[in-house]
Every structure is written in structure tokens, then in C-alpha cells.
Structure 1
Amino acid sequence: MRHFKLHHVLFLLVSFTFAKQAQAYPDFIGYGYSSCITCHYNGSGSGALNDYGRALFATEIAARDVFPKKMEEEEIAAMSGFLGSKPLPWWFRPGIKYRGLWLKTDPGSSNTMERFINMQNDVNLNFFFDKKQRLALITTASYTATEMYYGKQNTWFAKEYYLRWKQNNNLWFYVGQLDNVYGLRNIDHTAVNRRPLDLGQYSQTQSVVAHFTYPDWNIAAQAFFGNAAAEDTEKQKGFSVSGEYQVYEKFMVGASALTSQSDITKWNLLAFTTRMGLSKGSSLIAEAGFKEKTNKLANTDAELGTYALVETLVNIRRGYNVLSVIEHSKSNINKSSPEQMKWSLGGLLFPLPRTELRMMATNAKTYSDSGGTQDAWALQGQVHISY
């Protein structure tokens, strides 16, 4: 496949009816929730949960083993607020999110390494200018530890801040710094459809988003201008569009496209996505796409590569799931280049409200025309606390 004309693709995407991309937990389509605006302030699904999302997490996603059997779900939902059952003023909703990762590479070998990484340290402060929340200011302050944030470590920074305006039930606008509109925004920011495409944990961008929402389809279009903390030469400026269409209940198909460039790098991205609910709590999601990257400083031809991700969530019982993720990536399909394969298998657990645990084993391997590398194994454990 030669270089594709992305502006033609963007025109086609706008012309047809697709729907909104899913981001934070696209797997939850297995519970019948295909629209992210139901639970998140951001219609693309990332960021803080709204009141309904908090209650839903407590009463349907998380296990209820810590609660007496006679306690009603309505009582559990009433305890899901930031201060439990104590109400907050209508104009203010705070939140706190922490995610930590225990990682052990090459287990059982003499080269094994083990470390703990504080991956996410977020404080959400969300303000509303009317009781119906038609106009809102959504903000997230984060603390970065070992992972760099545009050259800085061990510092607080403004991760996202944007105004959200609900023009009517079918049209929302977002103005400020927030995540890119593109693809399935799964929580693993190192996955092939995220950080390798410059869509990682800290890739928020100053932008304007128009989001159209309807029962069977949604579409979001974004013009963006780069992260405020980046150097001017590094800021990616461009346009993206993403959407899905509900073929039938719990089955969505969609597509995304993005074109952007800085003084250093140019990106053209195209993805096709699907999400399917298999049974209550169980789902299959997938994203496959093309990634065209041009190093403008090297004055070389663009590299057109491919990537794919298939993720399966199998619900064992409420709060306890088996998670499997298969990833593939090839940097250049126009000539010989290595291919990366990765398979992760483990458990995704929500043992009690506000808490998520992940336990995964991963196997990664690189193939080339001359052979392949040895299998790289790793063990991971994550804890996510959300208030």
C-alpha cells in the first residue's frame, strides 16, 4: 500500500454515519453501555467519572462482597460520592485517581529486574455553572514521578483543562486541553494504539471538539494545536475525526483518522474499530490501523506501518474478569522491517468500589527476515484507587 491521501479519508468519515470513540474502558460494552457520555464528563470517555458513572461502578462493575446481602443497590450507589453519602454543592465535583504498577521482567532468569512505578497521580476539580451541567469546567492536575512530562520529573502540572458546553442533547462542544479524538482509548497507555502513535498518557492537546451524539451513532471532530507544555517545534497540530455506528445492541463498528505535524514529525493515522458485548460483563474489542510517520529533519521517505490490538474480557462473576490482549505492530510494510507480537493474559478485578486490581503475564517477541528474538516475559501487577 502506498501513501494514502488522508484528507480524502477524513472527508469520507465525515460524510458517513459513525459513532463516538470509546476510551477509558471500551470493554464495558458487555454491560450494555456503548456511549461514554453516560459515565464520563468527557464524551470521548477518558478522565473523571460523573455521578452516574460512580454509582454504576459501585452497583454493577465492582463486587459487592464487602456489603451485607440485605443492603440494597440504591444504598450502595448513595455511598459512591467523593465523600460517601454526604452530598456536595451542585456546582463542584472533585476526584482523586492513583495507579501503581509492579513490574518484573525476565522472571526466573539471572537478568530479572523488579520495580514499582507510580504511573498515575491525578486530582480532578470539576466546576458547573448551572444545575443541569450544560456548561462545565473540567480540570485535572497530575504529579509525574519517574515518567517524564515534557522534560520534567517529580513535579505537578496541568494535565487537562477544558470547557464543556452542552448545546443540546445531540451536540456537545469542548474547548481546552484534553485527549486526542482517535481510536479505542484503552487504559494501557503503552499499547500499540497509544504511546507508539504519540497518543500516550501525557499526550493531551489544546483543541476544539464538536461531538454529535445520537442513539445509534455518534461522531466527534477535533482541531488541535499541541500540548501547552511542549516546545513550539514539538507541538503536533492537525485534525482528527472518530466515530462508531451501532449495528445492533452491544455491537459497534467504527473508524478514526488523524493527520498532524510538527517541525520534527508528521503523522497520518487511520483505524477501524469494533466493540461487541458477548454476554453480561464479557466483551471483545479490536482496533486495526495504518500509521504513516515522517521524520521531517532526516529528509527521508515516510514509513507506512500497521498495528492491531484484540482485547477480550470474560466475566467470571461480578467484579472478577479474565483479560486477554493480543498486539501486533510493523513499522514499515513497504519494505522489510521487524514485526512485534505481544500477548498478555491475566485478571482484571474490581473487588470493592473505588478499587481495581490487574495481574497480568506478558510474552513479547520480535520477528524479522533473518530470524526472531528470544521470548521476553514479564509479570505485572496494578492497583488503581479512584475517589
Structure 2
Amino acid sequence: MRQLVKISFLIGAFLVSKQAVAYPDFIGYGYSSCITCHYSGLGGGALNDYGRALYASEFTARHVYPSTMDEETIANTSGFLVDKQLPWYFRPGIKYRGLYFQKDPNGSTEVNKWINMQSDINLNFFFDKKQKFALITTTSYADKYPPYTSIKEWDWFEKEFYLRYKQSTNLWWYAGQMDKAYGIRNADHSAVNRFPYQDVHVDQFGQSLGVIAHFTYPLWDIAINPFFGNIYDKADLKQQGVAITGEYQVYEKFKVGGSFLASESQASKWKLAAFTTRMGLSKGSSVMGEFGLKEYTNKSANTEARLGSYAWVQSLVAIARGYNLLTTIEHSKDDIDHSSAEILKYGVGALMFPLPRTEFRVGLTNGKTTTDGQGTPDSWTFQTQVHVSY
């Protein structure tokens, strides 16, 4: 109960602040469904033609274009070959995301490091002109990769590959290796709701073989996802289970939802449950959050289940077209019934789209860790990030 009170206080303080209007997702522009811009109905991955056009004509700063160029012309230059049409059956894409960070800036334990976070080649194929049946693939380069896989560094691997079938306007099917249907797919893969470096990971390496049935209607949608493990996971860490996620539109630009995941490997068992919300506050400004519980059982050590909690709230204020203020609050505790470390992080920065096909992020994060009332010195991290998509 004490943890829930703390989390509720943080959420309340964040939402009532007039300075905390946010833009973590495009619901502030009225785009509440991910299928509008992505090949995946649950978001993430490659952009479709409409998503590329929106990126150029609505989210990228206007001052980089001649004043005589109208928005339709800008949108028409967003293709892989700029303004030249590709065959209807093929859409390629290239994505790169790099991160430079300083930990403990100007301190005795200062660390400076560049990380290649994402190096993707998307090859997407369609078997009919209406794109009812498609093959979506992403090949990635492994500069770094978690130790729970068989992938070696400095190697190419198949990050995702799945068949997509539109049975009707209200039912989409996906089958293959893809992201699990759980929670909010925010871009920060180190956030507490993305569970980095754990064998149940739902971060950028969280793809799994499986099937998704996605039911989508104007006011609600739900996705059911039995999964069988990533093809690169080590045998004893291959998680198999089911994930379910869904949202309901309470009113325009305001959605509430929930997610559940249960999975098990030879080494561990996981149960996750979360409440999610997304709200558009003005054009380009919105707020979203994810608040959940995570139950972990170490089967190898034959220990009792450990119940933890997490909360994540992110906002983005639209300052001007292409320039936004980004703020984040995160809370995590691995065991709410016993003594364990409690982590609280605050982040503030900027998310910018100053040039076509580019994204820049800059931010400062403060972290606090306490155990049984005993705290450790605050940690500070300064990050800059560049994302190029073509």
C-alpha cells in the first residue's frame, strides 16, 4: 500500500501540473491507432507510406522547406527514393539510432560512451495491391546484444520476420517473430516498463515467435498473443507463454487500457500486469503512463515468487513544430513485500525533428536508489541521441 501511495502521488503531481502537458505519442495529433502509421497494428517497427508522409509534413520542422513548398509536396518527398514511386509490392527502409551518454558528468566516476542502439534494414513485401497480405522483415546489426542469446557481437541477425493478414477491417493476423503484445511500446528501451536485461524482456530485443490476433474497432481494440520464444534465445532461457493487451477510447484523444503476460522458461517464471493510459491535451501534446506489477520466480534456485511494482509516466510538450520538451518519471521496486532496492528516476530533455528523416534527443536524468530508508548518492546521466530513418 505504501508503494501504491507513492506511485499515486507521483502520477497526480505530474498530471495536474500545467507545465506537464505531454507528447509521448501521436494521440495529441488525433492518431490514436498505431496501424495508421505502422505495418504493425500495435506500433513500433517500420513506417508505412502514410506514416512517412506524416513524419515529413506534420512532425518535422517547417523552416527547412522553402516557403513556396506546400504540405502535400513535402509529403510526396518522403519515400525511400524521395519522390519516385516504388513498385506496389515492395517497400524498403533503413533505420539507425545512436546514443552518446555521460554518467556522473564531471565526477570521479565519469563514464563517456557511444552506443549504436539500432541498425536496421527493413524489407517489406506485399502480395496484393491493397496490402491485405504482407511479409514484414527487419535485419539488424549486433554491435551489442544481451548475453541471454546465441548472437555474437559484430554480426547480422533477423530481428523480426512475420506474415501479416488483414481478414477484415476489424481483424488482423500476425504470425512469425515479432514484439510481444504487452504495454506501451515507448522508444526508451531502458525504461522500467521495458524490463531491460531480464529474460522476459519486452525491449528492443524482446521479439518472440508467435501468433497475434488483433481485433480493432473505432472505440476499442484487443490483441491476443501466444508466443514460443526468440529463435536466438538460449534454450534454458527461452520464454513461452501468452500476452494480452487492449485499449478503450473513453472520449476523443483519451484511452485507457491494460496488459497481461504470463511466461515460463526452464530457468524462470514471470507474470506481468499493467494499467495503461494515453491522453491528448492539445495539438501535438499528450501524456501517457504505464503502472504495473511484475512477479518473478527463480526456478533454478527453487525460491518463492517475488512480487515487484513499476510506474512510468512520460510527457512531451509541443513547443513549436518539430521541437518538443520531454519529461519522464519512473519508479521501480523488485519486491514490495520484503526489503529491496527502490529506484526513482526523473528525466528532462528535448525531442526534436529539425530535418527530414532525422530525430534528435537530448536529456538529463537523475536517479535515486534507497533500501530500508538508506539512500545512496544521486546518479546523473546526460544523453544525446540521433535517429536517422530512410
Fold shared by both chains (TM-score > 0.5) = yes
Q: Give the equivalent residue in structure 1 for 2:57.
A: 59
Whether the aligned pair in 1 keeps the contact of 2:24 and 2:286 (CA below 8 Å) is: no
Alignment of 1:28-107 (within 5 A): 28-107=26-105
Aligned length: 364
User: For the residues of structure 2 that align with 1:58 and 1:352, how far apart are their CA atoms?
Assistant: 9
Q: 1:262 aligns with which of 250, 261, 265?
A: 265
Distance in 2 (alpha carbons) for counterparts of 1:239 and 1:138? 22
- TM (normalized to structure 2)? 0.92
Identity %: 61
SS in 2 for 1:46: coil
- Residue-by-residue CA offset, 1:328-353 (whole Å, 9 max, x unaligned): 00001111211000111000001122
Q: Could you say which residue in structure 1 is the equivalent of 2:227?
A: 224
Q: Is the 8 A contact 2:24 2:314 kept in 1?
A: no
Q: 1:195·1:201 contact (CA, 8 Å) conserved in 2?
A: no
Q: Give 2:172's aligned residue.
A: 172
Report the alpha carbon displacement of residue 110 of structure 1 after superposing the two structures with TM.
2.4
Which blocks of at least 5 consecutive residues in structure 2 are unaligned?
Answer: 2-22
1:125 corresponding residue in structure 2 = 123
**Distance (whole Å) between structure 2 residues aligned to residue 26 and residue 183 of structure 1:** 14
Q: State the partner residue of 2:292.
A: 289
- State the SS of the aligned residue for 1:54: helix
Gaps of 5+ in 1: 2-24
Partners of 1:349 and 1:231 in 2: how far apart?
A: 38
**d(CA) in 2 for partners of 1:213 and 1:147?**
34
The alpha carbon displacement at 1:115 in A equals 1.1
TM-fit CA distance, 1:370: 4.3
Q: What is the 5 A alignment of 1:186-335?
A: 186-196=186-196, 198-335=201-338
- The corresponding residue for 2:114 is 116
Alpha-carbon distance in 1 for matches of 2:215, 2:193: 24
Over the residues paired in the alignment, what is the CA RMSD in angstroms? Answer: 1.1
How far has the Cα of 1:146 moved from its partner? 2.8
Q: What amino acid sits opposite 2:92 in the alignment?
A: P
3-state SS of the aligned residue for 1:182?
Answer: coil
Query: C-alpha separation between the residues in 1 aligned to 2:144 and 2:214?
Result: 35
The answer to whether the Cα contact below 8 Å between 1:205 and 1:226 also exists between their aligned partners in 2 is yes
How big is the shift at 1:175?
A: 0.3
Note if 1:368 corresponds to 2:371.
yes
TM-score by length of 1: 0.92
Question: Cα distance, 1:195 vs. partner?
Answer: 2.8
* CA displacement, residues 96-122 of structure 1 (integer Å, 9 cap, x when unaligned): 000000010101112211111111000
Q: Secondary structure at the match of 2:74?
A: helix
User: What is the alpha-carbon distance in structure 1 between the residues aligned to residue 24 and residue 222 of structure 2?
Assistant: 16
Tell me the alpha carbon deviations over residues 279-332 of structure 1, each in whole angstroms, 9 at most, x when there is no partner.
Answer: 111111000000001100000001000000011110001000000000000001
- Partner in structure 1 of residue 15 of structure 2: none
| Amino acid in the other structure paired with 2:60 | A
* 1:26–1:184 Cα contact (<8 Å) kept: no
What do the CA deviations read for 1:227-249 (whole angstroms, capped 9, x no partner)?
01112221100001100000000
In the alignment, the residues of structure 1 paired with residue 245 and residue 111 of structure 2 have an alpha-carbon distance, to the nearest angstrom, of 39
